[in-house]
Amino acid sequence: MNVSLILIILLFGALVTYLAGDKLASKVALFFGLAAAGCSIVLLNHFNLGENISYISQWITSPKVSFALKADGLSLAMVLLTTVLTSIIILSSFGNDFKNSKAIYSLILFMSFAMTGTFLASDGLLYYIFWELSLIPIYFIALIWGNGDAEERKKAVVKFFIYTLAGSLFMLVAFVYMYQKAGSFLIEDLYKLDLTVNEQKWIFTAFFLAYAIKIPLIPFHTWQANVYQKAPTLGTMLLSGIMLKMGLYSLIRWQLPLTPLAAKEYMYIFIGVGIAGVIYGSIVALRQKDLKKLLAYSSLAHVGLIAAGTYALNLDGFRGAVLQMIAHGFVVVGLFFAAEIIYRRYETRIISEMGGIRSQSPKFTSMFLILVLASVALPTTFNFIGEFTVLYSLSQINIWFALLGGTTIILGAYYMLKMFQHVMLGETNTKVFAYVTFSEGLTMIIIIAVLFFFGLYPKPINDLITPSLEAILNTINKYN
Amino acid sequence: MTTLIAIIGLGVLCLIFEIFDFRKAIIPISIIGLLAILGLTVSEFNSPANYYNNMIVVSKFSVSFSSLFIVLTIFLVALGHNFYDNHQSKLSDYIAIKIFLLSGAVAMVSFGNLAMFFLGIEILSISLYVLAASNRVNVKSNEAGMKYFLMGSFASGIILFGICMIYGAMGSFDIVEISDMSQSAELPIWFPIGIVLVTIGMLFKIAAVPFHFWAPDVYEGSPTLTTALMSTLAKVVAIATLYKLLSSMHADINYSFQIVVVIVSIASMTFGNIMALRQVNVKRMLAFSGISHAGFMLMTLLSLSTSAGSLLYYTSAYALSGIAAFSVILYVCKNRENEDVVNFHGLGKTNPLLAAILTGSLLSMAGIPIFAGFFAKLVLFSQTIQAGYLVVVIFAVINSIISVGYYFKLILAMYTKEPNETRTGKPFLIYAVAVVAILLNIIIGLFPSLVLDLLA
């Protein structure tokens, strides 16, 4: 039994979902999403018992490319995040009525397949292929099932596609360049390369373009808010919950260990870029009138902090970044889902048109409040642990970084609570807010349970990821 | 050698069928015949041989490219079934011309003598002139044929002049002899001049900048099936021939020649892409995209000794996606006045299968993974970096990004616009060709070694 099984389940699931027809599509997709999640938990067990669950075989002879999937703690944590969130996202969209739903559900599973592949691939080219492949389903999801004016949506989505493709093509060139030196795309061989500082700087920049656009970091974030707003909520969840984690994961897995000298030289600049994103995202979020856009900018602020944590190049930074990646994945999916629940009833995303939900649906209000507080890193939630580990790692570099990064919590609390106040409290709205349905409630409760469970007991994840992060850190420090 | 004889035999058979009024059997028999010839050709793969005093040289290179040409011709003949159903009386002519054109193409990659090379070019070109003007009642088609003929015969003249120069310098038409002599230290000045002239002529046939001016007009004016032929088969034949010619004359040793290739290649891809961005006519757009792909293919000329495999791969990927795209265009634009993007509006709703195929072929041309176009570009980049031309690769990457702009214009039109009118009828052969072509594309995309290792 090895990790390729998860990929097979997801790919096969995408096919079966398409063939199942519009009526059954959502249930079939949920089944395969759960099957993949279950499979990854079983594999996690095998991994903890010390079994070898990696898979490698020769794929192309010249250029030498292998179909290599390697699972360590970090990859498995990300795979779990992907498969669990995929199931949650599918469950959350039970209340939606999509045109041609067999296509959208099969695209979700296909995208989950590509993202899982990205987290597992240990061959540069295979990784690149999965990375690119994940772009195609989200493009169609946002384009066809998105909302708002068709022309504007088209512009936003095409801009997104061209941006990300442009970034990743430079990464491809960097990979090809390293292949010429190493004679192989395998990550172990690439780690062994002895590149000069100058080469490393160029490769670092090429990788940075790809990741900064995907994550996104300022000044490459301009596609983000529009696409998040225009995509259907399910696409937004996929983008913010999982896809941007691909960029952050790749920082740790590929960029920093491959170009440690450049990373050390540019450390302050890129921590600065991350923190600039924190402040910029928070300030812009303050002024948003559209709920989805507000969440998009808050997401920009949070990932900026995560990126700063990874560029700090110490174990706490890495650990905090990964924890926060997982925590942010859950909380952002929950928040976007809450926005969708409101949209299903009020048919608006403008904050000023909402209000007074509390008196009509106190249960939903309290669930929403928990998510809001989790997103501003209230102690006992998972986000608190992630965010504070990152801030601690930044304080080891320079106390000012930690202080500036900490504004994410202060400003975040301000705009999130203000938003909560406008959306939930206030005068009773004339429009009826129907009770949350079973699937909606279940989704919210699962997310909240996960956030609290790991907030109180983060040890399992910590134990899972720490050895692999230490190994990566050793590679980074090989020059010392 | 048997390939060439069999192809010509099949062409004659086509004409005889017309005489005996077996018109209905022409396309099935041609397809079966071509499949048999394909088998015959492939069987020669491991048995290189020379025929008629080195006039024809059968090598791995010639066999693999000939097989590609035969596959493409099968597709093009099959597409003719639907395309020519209003011109039944001319069917045998059209099919026979295509098969004769194939014989020219095969001669061009298996020549051992410059005379044979020129014969091949002329057979190919004259067939193309006729096909370009084959819609006699359409002014645009006539114009296309005339333009192509004038410009093409000019290029042929330049090639012939170049061949004379090479003969004057070397005293022989035989490729092996010329190849041996070209390695000596002292070469007469006529030799490089000859090579340059031949290259110019071939660049014209490939439609590379700055010899591309005929392409958009001719592509637009010609009947769509002929455009499909020109942009896939003819382009692939020309680049393969140029590659063979230059590699046998060791042209890449010369540094200034490499610089010329770099400039032509960068200019072709950039110019082709930028012009393609502004086109509303899909055939014109594909013409400019073809110019930019010519620029990519020319990158193989920078590492002549090692890049035969990657050229074969790139041409297969490009031609297969081209065939798939054109079969959809043939279906959508049948009986329409023009081939504007408007005709494709809402295809994703009215005909999801064909829309998906066209999307796939455009993604392949843009170089998105799992389609063959991705590996084609990857291998090309890898080889060019190895040859020391990182600059060209950077330009190629930027151009790949630009190209997404216009490929996606078409995809957007198919999926976001409302359909204007539905098309009826499901012509079996068009569907079959489109599906088979895109499947072949995906198969060689998933298993690139199948093709890449043939000429390793």
Q: Which residue of A has its CA nearest to B418?
A: A150
pTM of the entire structure? 0.91
Q: How far is CA B22 from CA B27, B30, B99, in A?
A: 10, 12, 17
Instruction: Find the helix packing angle between B26-43 and B2-19, rounded to 10°.
Output: 170
- What are the backbone angles phi and psi of residue A49, rounded to the nearest 5°? -80, 0
Average pLDDT over chain B reads 89
Q: At a CB cut-off of 8 Å and minimum separation 6, what does B190 contact?
A: B165, B166, B168, B169
CA of B390 vs chain A CAs: smallest distance (Å): 9
A window 180-209, beta carbon within 8 A of B: 180
A179 and B382: CB-CB below 8 Å?
Answer: yes
| Per-residue pLDDT at A15 exceeds 90 | yes
**Would you call A456 an interface residue with chain B, using a CB distance cutoff of 8 Å?**
no
CA-based nearest residue in chain A for residue B452: A62
Q: At what angle are helices A362-375 and A438-456 packed, to 10 degrees? A: 40
pLDDT at position B436 over 90? yes
Contact B416 A154 (CB under 8 A): yes
CA proximity to B326, closest of B277, B361, B296:
B361
Which three-class secondary structure state does DSSP give residue A122? Answer: coil
User: Chain B: nearest CA to A166, how far in angstroms?
Assistant: 6
Radius of gyration for the alpha carbons in chain B, expressed in angstroms and rounded? 21
Q: What residue spans of B184-307 are helical by DSSP H?
A: 190-206, 214-221, 224-229, 235-248, 255-277, 282-298
**Least CA distance to A142: which residue of chain B?**
B416
Cα separation, B358 vs B367, in Å, equals 14
Chains A–B, number of C-beta pairs less than 8 Å apart: 78
Q: In 3D, which of B377, B261, B446, B448 has the Cα closest to residue A175?
A: B377
* CA A237/CA A231 separation, integer angstroms: 9
B50 sits in which H/E element: strand B49-51
The Cβ of residue A478 has, within 10 Å, a number of other Cβ atoms equal to: 11
**Which of chain B's residues have a Cβ under 8 Å away from the Cβ of A162?**
401, 404-405, 408
Phi, psi (deg, nearest 5) at residue A270: -80, -30
Contact B404 A165 (CB under 8 A): yes
What secondary structure does DSSP assign to B132-196, as a single string?
Answer: HT--TT-HHHHHHHHHHHHHHHHHHHHHHHHHHHHHHHHS--BHHHHHHHTTSS---THHHHHHH
**Which SS3 state, helix, strand or coil, does residue A186 take?**
strand
Asked if the bond preceding B192 is cis, omega within 30° of 0, the reply is: no
Query: Is A125 in contact with B379 (Cβ distance < 8 A)?
Result: no
Contacts of A135 in chain B (CB under 8 A): 368
Is the model's pLDDT at A424 over the cut of 90?
Answer: no
Residue B324 tokens read as: 């798939």
Q: Which residues, at least 6 apart from A382, have a Cβ–Cβ distance to it below 8 Å?
A: A323, A326, A327, A330, A331, A374, A450, A451, A452, A453, A454, A455, A458
Model confidence over A238-284: pLDDT tens digits?
999 899 899 999 999 999 999 988 988 888 999 999 999 999 999 99
Q: Quickly list DSSP for A366-410.
A: HHHHHHHHHHTT-TTSHHHHHHHHHHHHHHHH-HHHHHHHHHHHH
Residue B290's contacts (CB-CB under 8 Å, 6 or more residues apart) are B207, B215, B219, B231, B235, B272, B322
Contacts of A166 in chain B (CB under 8 A): 401
Q: Are A476 and A265 in contact (CB under 8 A)?
A: no
Q: Are A405 and A394 in contact (CB under 8 A)?
A: yes
Answer whether B420 touches A (CB < 8 Å): no
Query: Which of A60, A133, A158 to substitute to test the interface with B, most B CBs within 10 Å?
Result: A60
Amino acid at B249: M
A5 within 8 A of A116, measured Cβ to Cβ: no
Q: Which residues of B touch A133 (CB under 8 A)?
A: 369-370
* Identity of the residue in A144, A166, A176 whose CB atom sits nearest the CB atom of B401: A166
Which has more pLDDT, A322 or B251?
Answer: A322
Question: Would you place residue A330 in the very low, low, confident or very high pLDDT band (cuts 50, 70, 90)?
Answer: very high
Contacting residues of B for A153, CB less than 8 Å apart:
416
State how far Cα A156 lies from the chain centre.
Answer: 20
Cβ of residue A19 closer than 8 Å to a chain B Cβ: no
Cα A137 to Cα A9: distance, rounded to the nearest angstrom = 17
A63 interfaces chain B, CB cutoff of 8 Å: yes
Q: For residue A367, give the amino acid letter.
A: M
Q: What is the pLDDT of residues B66-81, one digit of tens each?
A: 999 999 999 999 998 8
Q: Please report which residue ranges of B189-231 form alpha helices under DSSP H.
A: 190-206, 214-221, 224-229
Mutation site, A147, A169, A180, interface B, largest B CB count within 10 A? A169
Beta carbons of B331 and B427 less than 8 angstroms apart: yes
Structure tokens at B124: 């190919």
Find the length of chain A: 480
Beta carbons of B408 and A166 less than 8 Å apart: no
Of the residues B313, B401, B442, the best mutation for testing chain A's interface (the one with the most A CB atoms within 10 Å of its CB) is B401
Q: Which of B286-295, B301-310, B336-345 has the lowest mean pLDDT?
A: B336-345
Cα(B58)–Cα(B45) distance, integer angstroms = 8
Q: Do A161 and B404 touch (CB under 8 A)?
A: yes
Asked whether the bond before A219 is cis by omega within 30 degrees of 0, the reply is: yes
Is residue A133 less than 8 Å (CB to CB) from chain B?
Answer: yes
Residue B423's CB: how many other CB atoms inside 10 A? 17
The torsion angles phi and psi of B56, rounded to 5 degrees, stand at -115, 130
Q: What are phi and psi of B306, to 5 degrees?
A: -120, -10
What's the pLDDT tens digit per position in A194-229? Answer: 888 898 999 999 999 999 999 888 888 888 888 888
| DSSP one-letter string for A418-453 | HHHHHHHSSSPPSS--PPP-HHHHHHHHHHHHHHHH
Q: Which of residues 365-394 of B touch A (CB under 8 A)?
A: 368-370, 374-375, 378-379, 381-382, 385-386, 390, 393-394
pLDDT digits (tens, 9 = 90+) for B17-38: 888 888 888 889 999 999 999 9
One-letter identity of residue B375: F
Residue B415 has pLDDT above 90, yes or no: no
Q: What is the mean pLDDT of residues B420-444?
A: 87
> Mean pLDDT throughout B152-170?
93
Using CB atoms within 10 A of its CB, is residue B329 exposed (0-12), middle (13-18) or buried (19+)?
Answer: buried
pLDDT at residue B52, as a whole number:
86
CA distance A80 to A43: 10
Q: Give the C-alpha distances (Å, rounded to integers) separating B291 from B102, B140, B214, B410.
A: 22, 21, 11, 18
- Mean pLDDT over B385-409 rounds to 90
Separation between Cα atoms, residue B204 and residue B207, nearest integer Å = 5
Distance from CA of B234 to the nearest CA of A (A): 28
Cα(B453)–Cα(A63) distance, rounded to whole angstroms? 10
* Residue B63 in tokens: 């066999």
Between B73 and A97, the more confident residue is B73
Residues of B in contact with A179 (CB under 8 A): 382
Q: Two tokens at A172?
A: 């491809």
Tell me the β-bridge partners of A58. A66
C-alpha span between A143 and A155 (Å, rounded) = 10
Looking at A193-314, list the stretches that DSSP marks H as alpha helix, in order from N- to C-terminal side.
197-214, 224-230, 233-237, 244-250, 256-258, 260-265, 267-286, 291-311
The mean pLDDT of A72-95, rounded to a whole number, is 90
CB contact, 8 Å: A176 with chain B? yes
Chain A residue numbers touching B448 (CB-CB < 8 A): 60
Query: What is the pLDDT, as a whole number, of residue B352?
Result: 87
Chain A environment of B369 (Cβ under 8 Å)? 128-129, 132-133
Closest to B71 (Cα-Cα) out of B205, B224, B236, B238: B236
Q: How far is A2 from chain B (nearest CA, A)?
A: 21
Q: Is A119 exposed, middle or buried (0-12, 13-18, 19+ CB in 10 A)?
A: buried
CA distance A132 to chain B (A): 7
For residues A107 and A142, the answer to whether their CB atoms sit within 8 Å is no
d(CA B178, nearest CA chain A) in Å: 32
- Write down the domain spans for chain A: 267-480
Residue A145 touches chain B, beta carbons under 8 Å = no
Q: DSSP assignment, residue B337?
A: S
Q: Three-state secondary structure along A33-93?
A: HHHHHHHHHHHHHHHHCCCCCCEEEEEECCCCEEEEECCCHHHHHHHHHHHHHHHHHHHHH
A129 to chain B, any CB pair closer than 8 A? The answer is yes
Highest mean pLDDT among A401-405, B120-124, B134-138, B350-354: B120-124
- Place A480 in a pLDDT band, splitting at 50, 70 and 90: low
Question: What pLDDT, on a 0 to 100 scale, did the predictor assign at position A112?
Answer: 94
Number of separate helices (H) and strands (E) present in chain A: 23, 2
CB pair distance less than 8 Å for A165 and B363: no
Helix axis angle for B282-298 and B308-332, nearest 10°, is 180
pLDDT tens column, B78-131: 998 888 877 778 888 899 999 999 999 999 999 999 999 999 999 999 999 999
Please tell me the predicted confidence (pLDDT) of residue A428: 67
